[in-house]
Structure 1
Amino acid sequence: MSLRALASDPSQSKGRRFGEQGGVVRGPRDLFQRDRDRIIHSIAFRRLRHKTQVFVAPDGDHCRVRLTHSIEVAQIGRGIARVLGLNEDLTEALCLAHDIGHPPFGHAGEEALKKAMMAHGGFDHNGHTLRTLAHLESPYPLFDGLNLCWETLEGLAKHNGPVRHPGWALRQMDEEFPLDLQRHSSLEAQVAAVADDIAYDNHDIDDGLRAGLLTLDQLMEQPFVAANYRAVEARYPHAPQDRLLRELVRDQIGVMINDVIASTLANSKAAGVENCEDVRGAGKTLAGFSSELAAEERKLKRFMYANLYHHPEQLAAADAAETVVTALFEAYRHDPQLMGADWAARVPDDEQGKVRHIGDFIAGMTDRFAIDRFAEIHGRDKVPDAIRHA
């Protein structure tokens, strides 16, 4: 069974916020394909290669970063979309762009910015993704932003479901180009969200094992992981453990993908949806894990938080990252010239505008750029030990 009738159709798109001049030939691409390509060619996307996924500014070349994670999410999402008959290009665009709004140092950097900007609306990485793509990344002559089509912006805004209480950045975007925030998103956006879960659930295990912060004995306490590992051992009884562990990760991704495909088909049939607008009005998420696997996935997430994300080494790095981001924010607020001539020249006169401008500048930084700017202001010897290696 295919869900092709539920797929987003670029020929039926609600269009772009700004009209674009016709007559420019840049290849035979539809709206969703152009959006994907605009994202790939953006500076903001390139910066993801030096932004934290799990490990802050990692020394090792083999650790995942936001860029490689986003590419892996896109591979998983596009594969699911293809089997289901959904629009692969829109799914891929959403997967590639979903983390563009993350500041340096991942969630630690986000917490620091949220606190620093609290009196002026705070900071939210998902809202900042929209802000980056619609305002800050501006390579075109006649308008700000990448001028992505409605379906792409809508999917990024609410791929995790309806947004009842949007932050200031997303609210501003919605006022400029209404995104129907109270309803669910397209199936492509829902697939992108679950593809993100599948990717980091499994690839973070791989990185945690490689870094020595997780052990096989710990993982075998998780029934879902243990069952998959025993199946891998049975198939390859003489293979070395390191190869078995990588096969485990691949197997778990496959199990999750197959579950999502079957569950999404069943949910869509049960909901009686007949087109893309029916999906938005269904009142619930249709693409995702079955209830059984969703329960196992939640257990796995709790395990990962307890044993990897909140590992003492990780917490020390997070504290160091918050110190760096907080210090940078305070320094720029005291002397905006420290941001450099271009950003300093555009500081708004009002305090709220100034704070948000500084937040934009810091959020665009990579891990290493933030560390280097901190070192320039405070001295290299003041960089916290937990991230000094970077």
Structure 2
Amino acid sequence: MTPASYAADPLQTRGREFSTGRFPSRGPRTEFQRDRDRLIHSMSFRRLRSKTQVFIAPEGDHYRTRMTHSLEVAQIGRVIARALGLNEDLAEALCLAHDLGHPPFGHAGEDALTEAMKPFGGFDHNAHALRTVMRLESPYPDHDGLNLTWDLLEGLAKHNGPIENPNWALAELDADFPLELSQWPSLEAQVAAVADDIAYDNHDIDDGLRAGFLDLEDLLTVDFLADQWRAVEKRFPHAPRERQLRELVREQIGLMVNDVIAHAREQLKGVSSVDEVRSAGHSLAGFSPEFAEKERSLKAFMYERLYYHDDQVAAASNAREVVAELFSAYAADERLMPQGWQEQSPPGQPQRARKIADFIAGMSDRFAMEAFTAIHGKRPEGLTNV
């Protein structure tokens, strides 16, 4: 398929922060393919397999983690990017990287780090994703970070839209390698953002049903879900209920993907370059206004029935306590951290606290629980509710 004129072009990338020689023996890949492969091979990506998506430290094998979620986002993102003639490799890389900054225990862990870091500039998982790939994940002998393309980094920084007031982490990185934070990002980044919404809107339903936190009667209180359920029942009247429910989730994903593609095609009429995408002043790849309202109603439902479920709230409270106590323990005695992290610890504030936050944010759920156990002599309780 011929790329659209508004697609990102790997031959026109704005380059990488650090100049390096070419390595022809490493394969005939484009610059965006190299970005994707560096992310897949990174330790930060591997750790996502043990980081919370919805349920904290789930005991069942069938629940999603940050890694499986990121893979599902990448699949949806590639479908949309292909239909719009965009660069699939860049879209996929952005989807795979979008959650690399999440600490253990999901948003509960982030809340704890945000509170602990208030005196030191705060914590934000989006900015920390940039910090991870630009400074912390450093497998190369001649520079820090993964040295990804400008196009990948600006899309990762701004996939949710322009940033007017970056926090300290993003401001420092932008000063070193300016990312034009006040402009809209590429279409590939916009696709990654909406693919994330599509994936978690629907797959969280799937996990919520499996865990017993949601049931069919709950779902039918959302009008457009009820419409789709009736259509599924009509097409597959004799199928087992579990298969009908999974078909409902697939149907919802298809509806959302098709809406985004149709709406983007309308929005892109008359747009002929990446520069025009960035200067458009609004998102060009998202839900139509009508579907956006339906999607907001679904999110409201999910917050009420799943994310704020009493069991979830209790587990999140316990998770916040674990992260808060880890931060306090390391702040009081750096010798509790691994030797390598002790050696990297700066002498003064806020740099010292920020390094502690880097260490904790990189932990998987499992490692955080082991670290807590090593410090306190007992395993944290009340984290797993499925």
2:131 maps to amino acid: R
Q: Check conservation: 1:52, 1:106, Cα contact below 8 A.
A: yes
1:318 corresponding residue in structure 2: 316
Q: Check conservation: 1:2, 1:84, Cα contact below 8 A.
A: no
Q: Deviations over 1:328-382 (max 9, x none)?
A: 000000000101111011110112111000000000000011011111111225x
1:352 corresponding residue in structure 2: 350
Local SS of the residue matching 2:162: coil
* Structure 2 counterparts to residues 274-293 of structure 1, below 5 A: 274-293=272-291
Q: Deviations over 1:113-159 (max 9, x none)?
A: 00001011100000000000000000001000000000000000000
Distance 2:245 2:339 in 1: 50
From the superposition, tell whether residues 264 and 3 of structure 1 become closer, same or farther in structure 2 (CA, over 3 Å): farther
Q: Check conservation: 2:99, 2:126, Cα contact below 8 A.
A: yes
2:29 corresponding residue in structure 1: 29
1:257 maps to amino acid: V
Distance 2:272 2:170 in 1: 29
**Displacement, 1:273?**
1.7
1:160 corresponding residue in structure 2: 160
Cα RMSD for the two superposed structures: 1.3
2:123 corresponding residue in structure 1: 123
1:217 maps to amino acid: E
* Structure 2 counterparts to residues 230-241 of structure 1, below 5 A: 230-241=230-241
Local SS of the residue matching 1:380: coil
**Displacement, 1:25?**
2.1
Matched, 1:179 2:179: yes
1:44 corresponding residue in structure 2: 44
Q: Check conservation: 2:191, 2:286, Cα contact below 8 A.
A: yes
2:22 maps to amino acid: G
Q: Check conservation: 1:2, 1:83, Cα contact below 8 A.
A: no
1:71 corresponding residue in structure 2: 71
Q: Check conservation: 2:315, 2:385, Cα contact below 8 A.
A: no
1:135 maps to amino acid: R
Q: Give me the identity figure in percent.
A: 61
| Deviating 4+ runs (over 4 angstroms) | none
Residue in structure 1 matching 2:369, options 368, 371, 374: 371
**Displacement, 1:274?**
1.1
Q: Check conservation: 2:8, 2:87, Cα contact below 8 A.
A: yes
Q: Check conservation: 2:56, 2:385, Cα contact below 8 A.
A: no
1:332 corresponding residue in structure 2: 330
Matched, 1:256 2:256: yes
Local SS of the residue matching 1:74: helix
Distance 1:282 1:44 in 2: 33
Gaps of 5+ in 1: none
Gaps of 5+ in 2: none
From the superposition, tell whether residues 389 and 184 of structure 1 become closer, same or farther in structure 2 (CA, over 3 Å): closer
1:284 maps to amino acid: H
How many pairs does the alignment contain? Answer: 386
Distance 1:231 1:52 in 2: 33
Greater mean alpha carbon deviation, residues 3-12 or residues 317-326:
3-12
2:285 maps to amino acid: A
Matched, 1:299 2:322: no
Q: Check conservation: 1:3, 1:265, Cα contact below 8 A.
A: no
**Displacement, 1:23?**
4.5
From the superposition, tell whether residues 3 and 221 of structure 1 become closer, same or farther in structure 2 (CA, over 3 Å): farther
**Displacement, 1:388?**
6.3
1:132 corresponding residue in structure 2: 132
Q: Deviations over 1:58-91 (max 9, x none)?
A: 0000000000000000000001101110000000
Distance 2:314 2:9 in 1: 47
1:387 corresponding residue in structure 2: 383
User: What TM-score does the superposition give when structure 2 sets the normalisation length?
Assistant: 0.98
User: What TM-score does the superposition give when structure 1 sets the normalisation length?
Assistant: 0.97
**Displacement, 1:387?**
1.5
1:16 corresponding residue in structure 2: 16
**Displacement, 1:98?**
0.2
Distance 1:388 1:90 in 2: 36
Matched, 1:266 2:266: yes
* Structure 2 counterparts to residues 90-239 of structure 1, below 5 A: 90-239=90-239
Local SS of the residue matching 2:231: helix
2:373 maps to amino acid: A
